[in-house]
């Protein structure tokens, strides 16, 4: 349907943040401190999810730089961080750090835990996994479909990093590459998957506390402004956009349905490429002229994505 020439443009260079050095602060008796975030400082409170003092990080413009800053704060290699969640130390895939951070969000970094290898047979065409990645070289399991091949294997869990498939290193590969590698395993074949699970939490005192005055949880991310990671590498403060949020969520669902991947930053980039486009042909062309051409989206996916975008624009979501 669409005649498209796929080309990959080089993205612009990464922009430096404000360069403010990270500073360790006291944990205040386990109580969540008041966020110091402002337009000028852009500092975010952070802890290691399995337990640590509280620090605040600043001076980053993308996820990889954020991991570098967290590593500096806690004196660990950034490669030890599997992923981050917002406002919870639990391995809650609904709270994953993606393409944006609320200016009052509390960042919990999940560190590498124990490795494990599982041998299994691909008895169905689909394994039932949704794969996402941390934006810094680690792909991991975001969702396991109920009743799937993987569902009844207790050693494979949500949050596990997929490190190797039959000895082939998956570190440094994007989610769609890992998803394709899993899809390409022939039905009936037996293979070995090496996983690394996130380190388990050692305490629960860092969970959001109840407000004694009204009995409700403190809403860390209740602010209307968010720091969005842009495809150009520059992070920008933007007002919360409910129409965009609905569209990005729907786009993410489509990516999961068609490709078995989950990536809110990619979904936001697709949304941004639709801005100013009035039809699916123009939208397809904008995809092909961007660095997203590498995904080689089929016409069917393009049509589904455009439908989600128009539904969000018209308030049908």
Cβ neighbours around 191 below 10 Å, total: 17
Rounded average pLDDT over 175-180: 94
- Using the predicted structure, report yes or no on whether residue 211 has a pLDDT greater than 60: no
In the numeric block, the tokens 């005055």 are attached to: 213
Q: What distance in Å separates the CA atoms of residue 277 and residue 2, rounded to the nearest whole number? A: 15
pLDDT (0 to 100) of residue 2: 54
Listing DSSP states for 160-177 in one string gives -EEEEETTEE-TT--HHH
Residue 39 has pLDDT above 60, yes or no: no
Give the mean model confidence (pLDDT) for residues 13-27: 39
Statement: residue 288 has pLDDT above 70: yes
At the topology level, CATH places domain 113-198 in Pdz3 Domain (2.30.42)
Residues 260 and 253 sit within 8 Å (Cβ to Cβ): no
> What pLDDT score does 202 carry?
56
- Other CB atoms within a 10 A radius of the CB of residue 40 amount to 8
Whole-number Cα distances in Å, 78 to 68, 72, 133, 164, 202: 5, 8, 15, 20, 21
Tokens of 16: 């430096």
* Cβ-contact 183, 110 below 8 angstroms: no
Q: How far apart are CA 140 and CA 150, in angstroms?
A: 14
Cβ-in-10-Å burial (0-12, 13-18, 19+) of 204 comes to exposed
Is a pLDDT exceeding 80 seen at residue 306?
yes
Q: Would you call 254 exposed, middle or buried from its count of C-beta atoms within 10 A (0-12, 13-18, 19+)?
A: middle
Adjacent-strand bridge partners of 56: 23, 45
> Residue 14 pLDDT > 70, yes or no?
no
């Amino acid at each position: 349907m669409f005649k498209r020439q796929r080309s990959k443009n080089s993205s612009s260079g990464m922009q430096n943040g404000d360069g403010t050095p990270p500073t360790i602060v006291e944990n205040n008796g386990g109580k969540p401190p008041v966020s110091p975030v402002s337009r000028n400082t852009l500092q975010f409170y952070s802890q290691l999810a399995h337990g640590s003092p509280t620090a605040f990080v600043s001076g980053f413009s993308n996820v990889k730089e954020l991991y570098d800053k967290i590593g500096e704060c806690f004196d660990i290699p950034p490669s030890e961080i599997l992923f981050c969640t917002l406002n919870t130390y639990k391995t809650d895939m609904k709270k994953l750090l993606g393409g944006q951070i609320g200016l009052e969000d509390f960042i919990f970094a999940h560190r590498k835990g124990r490795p494990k290898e599982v041998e299994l047979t691909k008895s169905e065409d689909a394994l039932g996994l949704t794969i996402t990645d941390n934006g810094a070289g680690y792909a991991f399991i975001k969702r396991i479909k109920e009743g799937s091949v993987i569902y009844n294997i207790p050693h494979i869990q949500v949050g596990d990093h997929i490190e190797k498939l039959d000895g082939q290193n998956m570190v440094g590969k994007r989610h769609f590459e890992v998803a394709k590698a899993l899809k390409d395993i022939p039905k009936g074949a037996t293979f070995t998957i090496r996983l690394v699970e996130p380190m388990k939490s050692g305490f629960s005192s860092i969970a959001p506390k109840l407000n004694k005055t009204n009995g409700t949880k403190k809403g860390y991310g209740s602010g209307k402004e968010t720091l969005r990671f842009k495809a150009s590498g520059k992070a920008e403060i933007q007002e919360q956009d409910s129409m965009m949020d609905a569209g990005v969520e729907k786009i993410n669902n489509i990516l999961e349905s068609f490709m078995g991947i989950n990536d809110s930053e990619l979904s936001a980039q697709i949304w941004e490429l639709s801005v100013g486009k009035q039809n699916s042909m123009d939208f397809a062309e904008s995809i092909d002229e961007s660095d997203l051409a590498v995904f080689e989206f089929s016409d069917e996916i393009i049509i589904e994505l455009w439908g989600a975008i128009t539904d969000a624009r018209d308030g049908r979501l």
